[in-house]
Amino acid sequence: MQTIVIAGGGAGGLELATRLGDRLGRRRRARIVLVDRSPTHIWKPLLHEVASGKLDPQVHQVEYSAQAAHHHFEFVHGEVTSVDRDARIIDVGACHGGDGLERQPGRKLRYDKLVLAFGAVTNFFGIPGAAEHSMTLDSVSQAEQFRQRLVALCIQKGLRRESGAEPDAKVNVVIVGAGATGVELAAELHHTAHALAKYNIHALDPARDVRIRIVERGERILPQLDAKLARNAEQYLRSLGIDVSTGSGVARVTSDAVHDDAGNVHASDITLWAAGVEGPQVCAALGLRLNRLRQILVGPSLQTIDDPKVFAIGDCSSHICSVNGTVIPPRAQAAHQQAVFLASVLGKAGVDQLPHFQYRDYGSLVSLGPFVAVGVLIGRLGKLGNRGVVVDGILARVLYRLMYRKHVLALHGFASMVAQTISHWLRDRLAPPVKLH
């Protein structure tokens, strides 16, 4: 029986483990092992909602051990640190709890086929001060830190304004990068500041005292969307009172400001860096060829170009479409399609002459807060061949929520997805719109 090890249980890796477990593990046609450094999974596109307090990560997380038990794969908790490709063994580091005590010892896992699905980390592009003074949204804990810092700052500044110690106290949030993550976060934060004020958590006037600014090097926001849609989205952000500064890159970041290369200084109490991603450090420790963003180079069947028994999917990989030469973007829909593809080919005994993966871009949807989204749908969903159809408003918002439901469907099946949707809907009706502490 062959052993297939999947390193990283994110949007791609967990779906792959679930599909392979159901397909091969259940009938004992292969041993499927998933390794992740965290005990729980959350779908990464939800992280801006965790950061804004709109979403409680505990409600949406998946316990890897439970998923493994239900879907016939094994889960190993620990960080993959290196791979011995000659011996076909991966090293998994020991796991420690919050008290510093060892929970799981380090261990070695043998594989016949290995799938690397480590995701990506924030790319600071070497900008001085960016890594030291910016927060990021790479994990649930970082999103939670951001949220707690925002709430604490709003409370502190409100008290200073009330006591007269700082009569014009403000909270300045600067988001670097106007891709989907930066724009979605800015829109959510606007609503968070208002919701916190409504529940008397802070004494600031959210419209006047909580300043949210997006700084973008490109000439416009949301480069993945059509120019008119991006203009509409920018107008909508401005109507919320969000400042949008395009056309100048960040030159340096300090503890209290973001300096752009046009000489502007944007005061900042919290800087959130959302300007790009790169492969995590572990990619450089595997002896595999990488691109300049430290992503692992893979061929048409998603095998790494240096080792046909090692595959890579999702944000940690670099796959160039053999038909039109386009680079597959670091998106959840790409990780999902790659997981579906590998689930159908990894059961084969050999690694030669595997079919080729073909990426289909189904478009992009960007959320602009609780009630609005914009985007373009292409292909089957858009029903317009490859031209795409523009959607916005409530329809786009509903379709945006469906993207997550699709992920839940892939992990848990239809009945659980419906039950979860109803329970989340009820919870949203009963709980405050954002976390208040």
Taking the complex as a whole, how short is the minimal distance between the CB of residue 66 and ligand FAD, in angstroms? 15
Taking the complex as a whole, how short is the minimal distance between the CB of residue 28 and ligand FAD, in angstroms? 25
* 4, 8, 54, 304: which one binds ligand FAD (CB under 6 A): 8
Contact 135, 142 (CB under 8 A): yes
| 182 is a site residue for ligand FAD (CB under 6 A) | no
Taking the complex as a whole, how short is the minimal distance between the CB of residue 59 and ligand FAD, in angstroms? 17
| Residue nearer to ligand FAD on the CB measure, 46 or 201 | 46
| 374 is a site residue for ligand FAD (CB under 6 A) | no
Residue number of the CB closest to ligand FAD reads 10
| Residue nearer to ligand FAD on the CB measure, 31 or 44 | 44
Q: Cα–Cα distance between 372 and 377 in angstroms, integer? A: 16
| 410 is a site residue for ligand FAD (CB under 6 A) | no
Q: Which residue has the tokens 């523009």?
A: 390
| 25 is a site residue for ligand FAD (CB under 6 A) | no
Contact 328, 322 (CB under 8 A): no
For residue 269, give the 3-state DSSP assignment: coil
| 181 is a site residue for ligand FAD (CB under 6 A) | yes
CA nearest neighbour of 178 among 238, 119, 265? 238
* 129, 279, 280, 375: which one binds ligand FAD (CB under 6 A): 280
State CA 62 to chain mean position distance.
15
| 314 is a site residue for ligand FAD (CB under 6 A) | yes
Residues with Cβ within 8 Å of residue 198, at least 6 apart in sequence: none
Distances (CA, A) of 301 to 22, 345, 351, 357, 419: 22, 9, 9, 5, 36
| Residue nearer to ligand FAD on the CB measure, 118 or 157 | 118
* 161, 331, 412, 435: which one binds ligand FAD (CB under 6 A): 331
Taking the complex as a whole, how short is the minimal distance between the CB of residue 165 and ligand FAD, in angstroms? 35
Please identify, among the stretches 11-19, 195-203, 304-312, 352-360, the one whose residues bind ligand FAD according to the rule CB under 6 A: 11-19
393-405: burial string, b at 16+ Cβ within 10 Å, e else = eeebbebbeebbe
| 157 is a site residue for ligand FAD (CB under 6 A) | no
| Residue nearer to ligand FAD on the CB measure, 173 or 316 | 316
Q: Which residue has the tokens 């809907």?
A: 425
Alpha helices in 164-302 (DSSP H): 180-198, 206-209, 227-239
What CA dihedral angle connects 39, 44, 47 and 48, to 10 degrees?
170
Residue 136: burial class (beta carbons within 10 Å; 0-12, 13-18, 19+)? buried
* 180, 229, 283, 417: which one binds ligand FAD (CB under 6 A): 180
| Residue nearer to ligand FAD on the CB measure, 156 or 224 | 224
Q: Cα–Cα distance between 365 and 263 in angstroms, integer? A: 33
Q: Cα–Cα distance between 62 and 435 in angstroms, integer? A: 20
| 36 is a site residue for ligand FAD (CB under 6 A) | yes
Taking the complex as a whole, how short is the minimal distance between the CB of residue 266 and ligand FAD, in angstroms? 21
Taking the complex as a whole, how short is the minimal distance between the CB of residue 248 and ligand FAD, in angstroms? 23
Q: Cα–Cα distance between 22 and 24 in angstroms, integer? A: 6
* 5, 13, 171, 373: which one binds ligand FAD (CB under 6 A): 13
| Residue nearer to ligand FAD on the CB measure, 42 or 154 | 42
* 6, 12, 242, 343: which one binds ligand FAD (CB under 6 A): 12
Taking the complex as a whole, how short is the minimal distance between the CB of residue 406 and ligand FAD, in angstroms? 11
Q: Which tokens in the block code for residue 433?
A: 């719109």
Number of residues that bind ligand FAD (CB under 6 A): 34
Provide the angle, in degrees to the nearest 10, between the axes of the packed helices 393-412 and 414-430.
130
* 4, 7, 174, 272: which one binds ligand FAD (CB under 6 A): 7
Q: Which of residues 113-142 bind ligand FAD (CB under 6 A)?
A: 117-119, 137
Taking the complex as a whole, how short is the minimal distance between the CB of residue 240 and ligand FAD, in angstroms? 19
Helix then strand then coil, in percent of the chain rounded to 5, is 35, 25, 40
* Interface ranges with ligand FAD (CB under 6 A): 7-13, 35-38, 41, 44-45, 47-48, 79-80, 117-119, 137, 180-181, 280, 282, 314-316, 330-333, 335
